[in-house]
Amino acid sequence: MKPKLVPWMPLLIIGLLVACNGDRTDSRGGESELYILAAASLTDAVQEVKKVYEQEHPHVKLVPSFASSGKLQRQIEQGAPADLFISAGEKEMDALTEQGRVVTDHHRSLLHNELVLIVPRNDKRIKDFGDLTKANQIAVGQPRTVPAGEYSKQALQYMKLWDPLKSRMVFAGDVRQVLTYVETGNVDAGLVYRTDAEASDQVTVAATAPPESHRSIVYLVGVVKGSKNREEADRFHDWLYKKKARAIFRKYGFRDVAGK
């Protein structure tokens, strides 16, 4: 006797095939998910971008993940789900592009930032980089994996302060961790992006690093070649350069470098 085909069996098989193909959809109605890996300094801005973009594109759900650009680079190299990468450093994006992991024609500069020296609010002891010699502990990002840390090292080397102060440094996993160390008073000072300093009412900007003391702080956006939703990723990539997105980034203190 031939086995009887259960009516819902073909639908089950189709569903399993779709799942095996890696299509990321939501059971609430075919909602597409885009995994956005973004530098930690972009946390507040990207959360607002997510809200606005999802309102305009109700079929798309943005799933952001924030960490140091170096850590995110490694995650992409190890095959973590990723559709779009927003890096705070050129080195990390260039490495992924050279490896063929980022689409070359969708790898563009988006934003600029500044490097600043911060201290706990109302702390009057440190008023400039030269006063760092008075500090017991100074927080900076880990230069090997955190672009803000690399910029900090460049700036302090330019000022001939890196070697004299190295023994006093506390190395953080990302720039937001540096901010937290200063906010809580666990360190006497720290180097972060201006946008991070402006997001906190618990720190004071003591000084701004001269632009010539470090490489230009440029944020780049790249579509990951292994994206499962390439069409949606391309669309979101292009949207980031449009007027509404640029206004959000400016609201959080970033300076945009280009747009449509």
The C-alpha R_g of the chain, in whole angstroms, comes to: 22
Instruction: Phi first, then psi: give them for residue 207, nearest 5 degrees.
Output: -165, 160
pLDDT, position 105: 65
Q: How large a percentage of the chain has pLDDT more than 70?
A: 85
The domains of the chain, with CATH numbers, are: 31-112+217-256 (3.40.190.10), 115-213 (3.40.190.10)
243 in helix, strand or coil? helix
pLDDT of 107 reads: 64
Sign of CA dihedral 233, 47, 244, 148: negative
pLDDT band with cut points at 50, 70 and 90 for residue 31: confident
The predicted-structure confidence for 125-168, as pLDDT tens digits, reads as follows 999 999 999 999 999 999 999 999 999 999 999 999 999 999 99
Instruction: Please say if the pLDDT value at position 77 is more than 70.
Output: yes
